[in-house]
Chains A and B, each alone.
Chain A
Amino acid sequence: MKALITRPVATMIVVFARAMTAVRAIWPESGLPKQPCIYFANHSSHGDFILVWAVLPPWIRSRTRPVAGAEYWLATKLKRFIGQDVFNAVLIERDKDKRTGDPIVRMAEALDGGSSLILFPEGTRNETEEPLLPFRSGLFNLATLRPEIDLVPVWIDNLNRVMPKGEIVPIPLICTVTFGSAIRILPYESREAFLERSRAALLALSPKVAGAAA
């Protein structure tokens, strides 16, 4: 019954995002993993997961859940509706004192349930001039708990210009979402090494970084 409302709302959000950004996906030659996987992306705007979600093929999209901050997505009725009902987000309490369970375990359970996840390993929106903040430990902890899961780096380009922090009106600009080849955690790989390797895999997809290297 609820799907009667949430499906059209999801479609409207995707249509709106596409009208604003004419978003174009760039796929890796190997294609996307068939099994549940983790899409880890750079984070500069609240619209990030919507853009990733919008470009995924419908059969993958329907079983892909974003991981998002509970304090933001539970703040108002509208956000709660969009976050929980429309996008079925795995909401994580970032404040340790308010946590009722281990967020990593909840993400692993979502994977076990057959869902893919969209994860932002920087942990917060990047509002600096740096292309990418250092990764928090979440991605490592999750990869350690489920080492057989594919990790797909996803670079979202230009969305921060569409809607910079504190602005209400989005500006139509063309965005691209670049998917890289999947990586996995290696046996006995250290936290630092893994986070550095996954961060480099993501950064390599940025057109600015790739452009500077060329």
Chain B
Amino acid sequence: MNDAQSDLILLLSGTGAFLAVASVIGYVLRVKLSPDGSNTTIENLNARINAWWVMVVLIGIAFIAGRVGVVILFAFCSFAALREFVTLTNTRRADHWALAAAFFVVLPVQYYLIAIEYYGLYSIFIPVYAFLFMPIISVLRGDTEHFLMRIAEVQWALMICVFCASHVPALLSLDIPGYDGKNVLLIAFLIIVVQMSDVLQYVWGKLFGKTKIAPRLSPSKTVEGFVGGVASATLVGAGLWWITPFSPLQAAGLALTIAIMGFFGGLVMSAIKRDKGVKDWGHLIGGHGGLIDRLDSVVFSAPIFFHIVRFGWSLT
């Protein structure tokens, strides 16, 4: 067993132990406070913990399966996220082929480019080629009603759900000296920091939250939750320096960056939900809502994290 594998197994078993503790707490809370299942907060907490188990197992399997496994997992995530996003847009009959192209051409091509590590093309394929050719396909049908809104919505859907999300598996293509074969741990670092930041913001907010930070966008988010959550997620990131190529201080700086990006990602996606008059993006994950509800902070932080690491540490 090499270094990377032992780190990975240590990390997965650590996460498993963490969730096991959470499950026990959830069970005790349920027995004590909500034996008949009537306390919605506790029911929601348990639904979330169970969904976490499923997500961690899926990610664990993908990590063990290696690069192809991770790329396929995120391709499916992108597919489900794009399906949720496009459901809420104002597309018309005339967009049919452009949408079909987004799902069945752009998405697979983007992930294929990630799989073959073609950085020069996957970093521009969607912003250049997809963004120019999809409006061309739509315009050929001659329907001008809400044209700008329609093409802009679909482009943003692709940007968020495919382009940004694909930068998570793209971390595997970075070539960092002395870190061969361990890139999958960068993904683990990103996901753990972002998700812990979400969870800790929720916990800090529930315990000490008083001052609403964005009352019109997300009434449950508070200044106390934001500061406490981001600060403790930064500490979590610093504590994970041993799985990364970074020093503890660098790990803390990167964790701070991705936690803040994740927070604002959540705000932006909330604003879109408000605009569309929905509470959740979908119902894919019990207790969490749709896939985008869980992925929103990851997609905002992934490209930034990718480019900082590529600029500062990677040879390619």
B80 within 8 Å of A (CB atoms)? yes
Give the bracket for the number of chain A residues in contact with chain B.
Answer: 10 to 19
0/1 per residue, A154-190, Cβ < 8 Å to B? 0000100100100101011110000000000000000
A209 within 8 Å of B (CB atoms)? no
User: Is B91 in contact with A174, judged by CB distance below 8 angstroms?
Assistant: no
CA distance A169 to B103 in the complex (A): 11
If A22-B80, A22-B83, A164-B96 touch, whether A172 touches B103 (CB-CB below 8 Å) is yes
User: Is B87 in contact with A169, judged by CB distance below 8 angstroms?
Assistant: no
CA distance A158 to B89 in the complex (A): 12
A24 within 8 Å of B (CB atoms)? yes
Determine the chain B residues whose CB is within 8 A of the CB of A211 once the complex forms.
277
Interface majority SS (helix, strand, loop, mixed), chain B:
helix
Give the bracket for the number of chain B residues in contact with chain A.
Answer: 10 to 19
User: Is B283 in contact with A171, judged by CB distance below 8 angstroms?
Assistant: no
0/1 per residue, B57-91, Cβ < 8 Å to A? 00000000000000000000001101110110001
**Interface residue from B79, B96, B277 paired with A172 (Cβ < 8 Å):** B79
Which partner residue on chain A sits nearest B98 by CB separation? Answer: A171
B282 within 8 Å of A (CB atoms)? yes
If A22-B80, A24-B283 touch, whether A171 touches B93 (CB-CB below 8 Å) is no
If A22-B284, A24-B283 touch, whether A158 touches B100 (CB-CB below 8 Å) is no
Determine the chain A residues whose CB is within 8 A of the CB of B284 once the complex forms.
22
0/1 per residue, A1-39, Cβ < 8 Å to B? 000000000000000000000101000000000000000
User: Is A174 in contact with B87, judged by CB distance below 8 angstroms?
Assistant: yes
B171 within 8 Å of A (CB atoms)? no
0/1 per residue, B267-290, Cβ < 8 Å to A? 000000000010000111000000
CA distance A172 to B103 in the complex (A): 8
**Interface residue from A158, A164, A169, A172 paired with B82 (Cβ < 8 Å):** A172
Which partner residue on chain B sits nearest A211 by CB separation? Answer: B277
A161-B91, A169-B96, A171-B99 given; name 6 further pairs at CB < 8 Å.
Answer: A164-B93, A169-B100, A173-B83, A173-B86, A174-B87, A174-B282
Of all A-B residue pairs in the complex, the 7 with the closest CB atoms, nearest first, are A172-B83, A174-B87, A169-B100, A171-B99, A173-B87, A164-B93, A167-B96
Could you write out 21 A-B pairs with CB less than 8 Å apart?
A: A22-B80, A22-B83, A22-B282, A24-B283, A161-B91, A164-B93, A164-B96, A167-B96, A169-B97, A169-B104, A171-B86, A171-B96, A172-B79, A172-B82, A172-B83, A172-B86, A173-B87, A174-B83, A174-B84, A174-B87, A174-B282
Residues in A lying within 8 Å of B, measured CB to CB: 22, 24, 158, 161, 164, 167, 169, 171-174, 211
